[in-house]
Structure formats: structure tokens, C-alpha cells
Chains A and B, each alone.
Chain A
Amino acid sequence: MSEAAQHLVVRGVSKRYGPTTVLDHIDLTIRRGELVTLLGPSGCGKTTLLRAIAGLAQPDTGKVELAGRDITNVPPHKRNVGVVFQSYALFPHLTVAGNVAFGLKVRGAPKGEIDAAVERALALVKLGHLAGRRISALSGGQQQRVALARAIAVEPDVLLFDEALSALDRKLREEMQVELRRLLQDVKATAIFVTHDQDEALTMSDRAAVMNKGRIEQLAEPRELYLRPASLFALNFVGLSTRISGTVLAANDGKVDVETKLGRMSALGNFQAGSPVIVAARPEQLRLGEQGEANSAAGRVRSVVFQGSRTLVEVDAGAGESLLAELSGRDGTIPRVHDEIRLSWPVAETFAFPMDAQA
């Protein structure tokens, strides 16, 4: 592979804190200019992995390479990484411009060069007019931009974002996601985002890694992550789903027939007969009424939640199982609470996952 395809390489990185394995032989390769998200619940190891790349945490085993250089044992100040922290970590005793200039000053860049770089970075985040302000006089969103400008100003080989948007309120965060992605693509930055917010992961990244218990469960493009989850954990963590437990009756050619409490169903997956499995489908695959060649189940509507362009309908299917359907309302009427309805969904969009891997 070319150097650009292996811009950042994490090889077999492990990290333990006492009895807890925080990172369990992580392998990750990122192309130059790629935007990658590490997605997972708190404690999954995503922040530790980011810190290991930044040099703020030392892995027990494994290697980290950046821009063709082994940086495993290089201290953070010589790594040429840019980090945007959750708390922004802006220096309170410096102005906006002083913060952005900090990295270049430390590197001993000539004054003219620093001034030009600061101006460029602040223009990029549209804060040029606030260069002389104190940090405490800025709003949260503005501070976020200053932190970004500070990290970009040193032209790092990789930008690392540690839950960098999570302190913003929802609306601002959604705007920033789109703007940040465009900005990073404009400057051709390579970036890694750590987040527990699946929307952020789907919006911002070229690829996202779903992490659980110190391992990467799946690394894929957002679309594939959603449509073809590799594990029950990935399915649960990204998006909503209907999940029904059952036992495999027969298996053939990547397909299984599963006996569930709601009747026999077919799903994609490779299992031996007798294996306990979870059968799952995304809610937008569920339709009112019967379809040919499809799984189906009936029940009583428990709740109807209107969410603008879509309506989420939860159905009590009996035997402790429930169904979740996302109906657009365009192709028919939306049922009411207590209605008895039947839902069906295509076999090709139904997946089987091993039961014991439930997270």
C-alpha cells in the first residue's frame, strides 16, 4: 500500500489499567485525508485509543505509525498531532489569537509566519473579528472554533477530536457537524473523532469504528454500518431495530430458518441448527400488512411517536417480544394505540446474530 493509504497505522495496540483491559489488540489503518469516527459507549476504550495516538497514554504493546514514522515512543510534543479536547482546554491567560499562535510560538516560528497562520486559521473558523478577545468572553460555540483553529494552525499530520462537540447544545452541534466536515475536507485534513453520538458518527465520517470492551467490532462506512451491522452490539449502538430471540431450525447458504415465539422467520447469517440467535431488522423495513417472501408478526400497538417526517410505532407482539416500525405515513394510515396490526419485513433485510454476544 502507498504511504497515503497508510497515513496512520495502529498495530496490535493494547492497554491495561490494573485488571481492566482498556484496549485489546487494536488494529486500525487510516488513509491520508480520511475522516474516521471511533464510536462507542463510555468505557469502550475509544478515548484511550485517541490518547495513545496523541501520545498522552502509552500503550503496553503494539505500534503507532504516523506519516511513515514510528511514533510509538515519541513524546506528544514531537508527534505533530492536533487535539481538540472536550473541555476545549483553551488557555485562559491568552487571547483568542494568543491561543491559536501558541503551537507555532512554541515551535519557534518567525513572527510574520505566526501572524499569517493565525489569521488564516481564524478566518477558516470565521472568528477573525474576535482575535483580540479574552477566552472567557466567548460563547461555547466560539470557544469550540478557537480550539479547532489552534489545533489546525500547526498543520498537524492528524487532527484528533475527543468528544469535541458534546458540550454544545443540540442545534448548534448539528450545524457544527456539517460545517466541520466541510472545513476538514477543504483543508484535506486527516481526522479522528471520538464520540458516543451515533448521529455525529454518521454525519461526520468517511468510516466509523464501533468499539466495545476495548475492541473494534466493526469498521465501515456509515451506510454499511447501518445497513449491514456486523454484530448485535453494532446493530444496537447505531440506529434502532426490532429484535426477536429464537433458535435456528435449519441453515443453508448464508440463510437460516429460525423458530421464534412469534412464528418461523428467515434471516441472513451462518449458524448451525440449534444455535440460539437474535433476529433483527431496521424499523424502516417494517411495513403494515403482509408482503410475499417476508417475515411477519402481529400485535397490539403500544405507542405511536410522531417525529415529523416519520412516525415510530411500537407493537406488543406478545410472549415478551415487541416490534418497532418506522412508518412514513405517505403510503397508508398511521395506526392508533391499541389497534391490532400486522407488520412484515423482507427476508433480505433480516439478520441473525449470536445470542450470547448480546451487549
Chain B
Amino acid sequence: MNRAAIVVCWIMAIGLALFLVIPLLVIAAASFSPTPVFDLPLTGASTRWYGRIGRLDGFWPSLLLSLQIALLSTAISLVSGTLAAIAIARGKLPGAGIFATALVSPLMMPGLVLGIALLQGFRAVGFTAPWATLLVAHLVITLPYVARTMIAGLARFDFTLIEAARTLGCTYPGSVLRVMVPALAPSFLIAGIFSFLASFDNYPVSIFLADVRTKTLPIRMLQYIEEAPDPTLAALSTLILLGTVILLFVSDRVVGLHRMAGTSD
């Protein structure tokens, strides 16, 4: 490759990485600001904003709700999405390609459109319980992530492995549990993480289904920023960021090390 071209590409790679990371660094820095208004250069550091997170109005119910919805919708999506992916990848389902596209289609739709469509749809059938509508809506958000990852994972899975396990003394369900599930563990983990994160930080769909008592964390955070824009929100964002990084790091270690050592049980 031409030397100048390499230099241009290097600059691009480094520049883009900074472009993506700098806002995150800024918010982390802002969270330690000693004054209510974040200003550069920093004149000291303080952790008092972290202490205030828990005292934010309605913070704990919103956090709990977001965790509930994200975990439940991820769990339901993982089971149902995997079964659907098996049908598509393996079950000789007529028109499997169409079903696969349909399962992944919410990914390509703007969240706002999805939110309005779900609101209208739920109203039309008289389904208005806020918690339940949020859960169903978040299934629409999380299923595509699971379906996409599991269809890809299953496409690479050799179903002869199940036959091998059966001839070695496993029942059919036993073979699925002892061979298919662990062999697909990386796919499950990736699908689960993306599904959880997509649900946890969703705003455009949730906003149409939330009411005064049922507000997810992203909705609550936007409300805080309108009411009192002080570094408490930056502190909360930094914690979420930290949580996400730990989650990704740990799962990479778990699956990665597991694969490297080649051990199970």
C-alpha cells in the first residue's frame, strides 16, 4: 500500500477513535466537577454528585423498572428467539428467509415509528397496562438482536454434534443441554448482552408507553436534565458506562478464557 495512503488511514483510525471516546471522557470528568456548572479547566475534584444520585426524585423505581424490563425481555427473547432461529436455520421452514427478515426488521425501523405503531396497536386492542405494554414493546426491541445473533450462530452449528451425543448415550433433550447449549454459549452471551443493553437504554419506544408512575431510567434521566442540569446526571451516566464496560469485559473473559482453556463443566 502507498505510504501516504497508510498515513491517511492511520489518521482516520486514531481520529475516529478519539471522536468516539472523548465525549465519554468529558462526561466522566464532569461527574467529578466540584461546582454545579461544569467548567474547564477543572479546579478540583469532588464525588458529592455520586452521593446525590440515590436521592434523585423517582430514581430507584425507575432503575428497578428498567432492570426488570431489560432482564425479562432479554430472557423471553433468548428462549423464544432461539427456538425461532432453530426453525429458520434448521427446520426446513418454507419461506425461512422471509421469516428471518421479519424477525430482524424492527432493527431497521426508526424507534419513533415503532413507538407510535405499538401505542396505536395496543390502544386498538385495549391493551393499556403500562408495565405489560412496556415489556411487550421491549420484546419487539430485543427479539431482533437475539434472532440475528442466534440465526448466525446456528448456521455455523453442526447438528451432527447432537447425533454424536445421542450415540454416546445422551437422550435428545440431554444432547441439546450438554452439547448444543454450551457450543452456542458465545452466541447466547452476545445476544443476551446486546438485547439487555438495547432494552435498558431505549427511549424512543418507551416514551410512548410510559405514564407518570411507570417511567424507565432513560425517560427519568431526560426529565432530570430538563429540570436541573447539574453533574448528578453525569455521575449517573458514568456509572452506567462503567457497568457496561465491566459487563463486556467480564463476558469476553468468561467466553474467551473458557474457549482458550477448552474446559467446561
Whether B165 and A75, one on each chain, are in contact in the complex, defined by CB atoms closer than 8 angstroms, is: no
- B185 on interface, CB distance cutoff 8 Å: yes
- A83 on interface, CB distance cutoff 8 Å: yes
Residues of A within 8 A of B (CB): 54-56, 75-79, 81-83, 85, 87, 89-95, 98, 102-103, 106-107, 132-135, 137, 150, 154
- B43 on interface, CB distance cutoff 8 Å: no
- B252 on interface, CB distance cutoff 8 Å: no
Residues on B with beta carbons closer than 8 Å to the beta carbon of A135: 262
List, sorted by A's number, 12 A–B pairs whose CB atoms are closer than 8 Å: A56-B167, A77-B168, A79-B167, A85-B164, A89-B158, A89-B163, A91-B183, A93-B179, A102-B165, A106-B168, A134-B261, A135-B262
Query: Bound complex: CA of A250 vs CA of B182, how far in Å?
Result: 70
Binary CB contact string for chain B from 165 to 196 against chain A (1 if under 8 A, 0 otherwise): 11111110010001100110100000000000
Q: In the assembled complex, how far is the CB of residue B2 from the closest CB belonging to chain A, in whole angstroms? A: 37
Identify the closest chain B residue to A85 (Cβ).
B160
Contact A76 B263, CB 8 Å, known A85-B160, A91-B161, A92-B183: no
Task: Work out how many contacts link A and B, with CB atoms closer than 8 A.
Answer: 84
Whether A89 and B264, one on each chain, are in contact in the complex, defined by CB atoms closer than 8 angstroms, is: no
Residues on A with beta carbons closer than 8 Å to the beta carbon of B182: 91, 93
Whether B262 and A133, one on each chain, are in contact in the complex, defined by CB atoms closer than 8 angstroms, is: yes
Whether B171 and A95, one on each chain, are in contact in the complex, defined by CB atoms closer than 8 angstroms, is: no
Query: Bound complex: CA of A203 vs CA of B166, how far in Å?
Result: 30
Query: Which residue of A78, A79, A87, A132 contacts B262 across the interface (Cβ within 8 Å)?
Result: A132
Contact A89 B160, CB 8 Å, known A79-B167, A133-B262, A134-B259: yes
Whether A93 and B163, one on each chain, are in contact in the complex, defined by CB atoms closer than 8 angstroms, is: no
Residues on B with beta carbons closer than 8 Å to the beta carbon of A54: 163, 167
Contact A77 B171, CB 8 Å, known A98-B262, A98-B264, A133-B262: yes
Query: Which residue of A56, A98, A133 contacts B166 across the interface (Cβ within 8 Å)?
Result: A56
Residues on B with beta carbons closer than 8 Å to the beta carbon of A90: 164
Q: In the assembled complex, how far is the CB of residue A147 from the closest CB belonging to chain B, in whole angstroms? A: 8
- The interface size bin for chain B is 20 to 34
Query: Which residue of A55, A87, A103, A137 contacts B168 across the interface (Cβ within 8 Å)?
Result: A103
Q: In the assembled complex, how far is the CB of residue A338 from the closest CB belonging to chain B, in whole angstroms? A: 52
Query: Bound complex: CA of A342 vs CA of B174, how far in Å?
Result: 67
Contact A94 B262, CB 8 Å, known A85-B160, A89-B160: yes
Identify the closest chain B residue to A93 (Cβ).
B182
Interface centre among B158, B165, B166 (most CB of A within 10 A): B166
Whether B169 and A89, one on each chain, are in contact in the complex, defined by CB atoms closer than 8 angstroms, is: no
Identify the closest chain A residue to B181 (Cβ).
A93
Q: In the assembled complex, how far is the CB of residue A183 from the closest CB belonging to chain B, in whole angstroms? A: 19
Q: In the assembled complex, how far is the CB of residue A25 from the closest CB belonging to chain B, in whole angstroms? A: 25
Residues on B with beta carbons closer than 8 Å to the beta carbon of A87: 158, 160
Whether A89 and B262, one on each chain, are in contact in the complex, defined by CB atoms closer than 8 angstroms, is: no
8 smallest beta-carbon distances between A and B, as pairs: A134-B262, A103-B168, A89-B164, A106-B169, A89-B160, A93-B182, A95-B262, A76-B166
Whether B264 and A85, one on each chain, are in contact in the complex, defined by CB atoms closer than 8 angstroms, is: no
Interface residues of B in 102-160 (CB under 8 A from A): 158, 160
Query: Which residue of B163, B167, B183, B263 contacts A82 across the interface (Cβ within 8 Å)?
Result: B167
Whether A77 and B166, one on each chain, are in contact in the complex, defined by CB atoms closer than 8 angstroms, is: yes
Identify the closest chain A residue to B169 (Cβ).
A106
Q: In the assembled complex, how far is the CB of residue B181 from the closest CB belonging to chain A, in whole angstroms? A: 9
Query: Bound complex: CA of A106 vs CA of B169, how far in Å?
Result: 6
Residues on A with beta carbons closer than 8 Å to the beta carbon of B261: 134
Whether A98 and B263, one on each chain, are in contact in the complex, defined by CB atoms closer than 8 angstroms, is: yes
Residues on B with beta carbons closer than 8 Å to the beta carbon of A137: 262
